[in-house]
């Protein structure tokens, strides 16, 4: 009598990874102020496109274990948008020749494709294999019957003389890549590939990666926090630009108390002449006694391009934190406010 055996196969799809480029951001979130918690695992992949110059993006990467192009037949995903945009969250299929890694391509669904949700609020999408909405660019793809940059259906890639013999090493959901405009936050909550649910939550490798902050929180527009924060979570709000910064504000959502823990300043060159002061103030809007200047930085005296200060000031929910710059020696700057929810 033979002993029954069972082989456990390796998973086809790996755990999600977050990546971003240029003005884009990608962070794991588990606290928010709207309805993003209603779907998925309770974690969300927060993607921010920022000011769009054609190469600014955030993405969820799903490692894929050499799935044959003809065998990838379905995808579904949903996401919450905080503002209507010209592009939605689109899918990108990364493929290569399994026998020659010099041959590879990104097969990208157009962000403005018909049926791809771009509206304020919840959007969901089911991939259509027969709709011409994919284009590709890559390296050493001359054997294909398809033309780079031209729209085709996914079925055409599956039956192409070259791509039909290739395998998929990554599938991603991406947000950005527009020529102009500003792309506000979206929260990706659900993703299903070939009928397999991809849990949207950080893996151990994401949590302990050097470039990833655990439980970084992005606050959306809303009137109340969902759930209770048991541990302080860092929030980063970037301000960037060139020249004189008149006023930039970061208003915490109603219902949240916080401590302003850290301010990062980044300059393209250290200022050396003129009046170079950065003044951080807070104002609750009703003239209470805790209003006023939090700190003043003399940037000429510091003569550095990167500076971190830690005010550790407790603030109230209705405070507006303001950065006012007096600079006669124009520099390109970046500011990041960090605070902890209390």
263-310 tens-digit pLDDT:
666 666 666 666 667 776 766 655 554 566 766 777 776 666 666 666
Other CB atoms within 10 A of residue 150 CB: 10
Instruction: Give the pLDDT confidence score for residue 168 in this predicted structure.
Output: 98
The torsion angles phi and psi of 57, rounded to 5 degrees, stand at -160, 160
How far apart CA 82 and CA 311 sit, in angstroms, is: 31
Cα–chain-centroid distance for residue 198? 18
Average pLDDT, the chain: 77
* Whether the predicted pLDDT of 192 surpasses 90: yes
74 near 181, Cβ under 8 Å? no
Listed residue (331, 304, 323) closest to 243, CA to CA:
331
Listed residue (53, 58, 31, 60) closest to 252, CA to CA:
31
Instruction: Give the pLDDT confidence score for residue 321 in this predicted structure.
Output: 62
Instruction: Give the pLDDT confidence score for residue 234 in this predicted structure.
Output: 37
* Mean of pLDDT values over 188-196: 96
- Percent residues over pLDDT 70 in the chain: 58
Three-state DSSP class for residue 36 = helix
For 145-154, the pLDDT digits (tens) are 999 999 999 9
The DSSP secondary-structure symbol of 13 reads B
Confidence of residue 336 (pLDDT cuts 50, 70, 90): low
Instruction: Give the pLDDT confidence score for residue 235 in this predicted structure.
Output: 36
The listed range with the strongest mean pLDDT (3-7, 48-52, 61-65, 239-243) is 61-65
How far apart CA 218 and CA 37 sit, in angstroms, is: 13
48 near 184, Cβ under 8 Å? yes
Confidence of residue 82 (pLDDT cuts 50, 70, 90): confident
Domains of the chain, first to last: 17-207 (2.60.120), 234-341 (2.60.120.340)
Instruction: Give the pLDDT confidence score for residue 228 in this predicted structure.
Output: 28
* Whether the predicted pLDDT of 222 surpasses 50: no
Tokens of 54: 């054609």
Instruction: Give the pLDDT confidence score for residue 188 in this predicted structure.
Output: 95
Confidence of residue 75 (pLDDT cuts 50, 70, 90): very high
Instruction: Give the pLDDT confidence score for residue 214 in this predicted structure.
Output: 40
Cβ-count burial 67-78 (b if 16+ within 10 Å, e if not): bebeebeebebb
Q: Which of 15-19, 39-43, 255-259 has the lowest mean pLDDT?
A: 255-259
Between 191 and 265, residue with greater pLDDT = 191
pTM: 0.63
């Amino acid at each position: 009598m033979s002993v029954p055996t069972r082989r456990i196969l390796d998973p086809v799809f790996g755990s999600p990874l977050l990546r971003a480029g240029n003005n884009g951001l990608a962070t794991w979130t588990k606290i928010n102020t709207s309805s993003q918690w209603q779907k998925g695992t309770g974690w969300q992949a927060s993607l921010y496109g920022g000011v769009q110059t054609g190469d600014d993006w955030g993405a969820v990467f799903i490692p894929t274990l050499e799935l044959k192009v003809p065998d990838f037949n379905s995808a579904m995903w949903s996401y919450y948008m905080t503002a209507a945009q010209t592009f939605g969250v689109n899918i990108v299929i990364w493929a290569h020749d399994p026998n020659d890694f010099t041959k590879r391509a990104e097969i990208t669904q157009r962000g403005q494709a018909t049926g791809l949700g771009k509206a304020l609020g919840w959007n969901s999408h089911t991939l259509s294999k027969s709709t011409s909405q994919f284009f590709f660019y890559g390296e050493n793809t001359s054997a294909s019957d398809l033309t780079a940059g031209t729209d085709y259906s996914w079925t055409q890639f599956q039956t192409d003389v070259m791509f039909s013999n290739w395998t998929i090493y990554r599938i991603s959901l991406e947000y950005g890549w527009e020529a102009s405009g500003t792309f506000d936050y979206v929260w990706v909550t659900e993703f299903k590939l070939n009928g397999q649910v991809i849990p949207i939550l950080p893996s151990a490798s994401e949590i302990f990666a050097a470039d990833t902050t655990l439980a970084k929180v992005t606050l959306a527009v809303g009137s109340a926090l969902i759930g209770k924060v048991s541990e302080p979570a860092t929030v980063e709000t970037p301000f960037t630009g060139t020249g004189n910064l008149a006023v930039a504000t970061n208003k915490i959502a109603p219902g949240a108390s916080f401590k302003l823990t850290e301010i990062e300043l980044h300059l393209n060159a250290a200022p050396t002449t003129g009046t170079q002061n950065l003044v951080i103030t807070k104002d609750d809007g009703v003239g209470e006694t805790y209003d006023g200047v939090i700190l003043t930085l003399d940037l000429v005296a510091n003569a550095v391009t990167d500076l971190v200060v830690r005010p550790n000031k407790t603030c109230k929910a209705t405070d507006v934190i303001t950065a006012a710059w007096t600079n006669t020696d124009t520099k390109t700057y970046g500011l990041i406010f960090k605070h902890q929810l209390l």
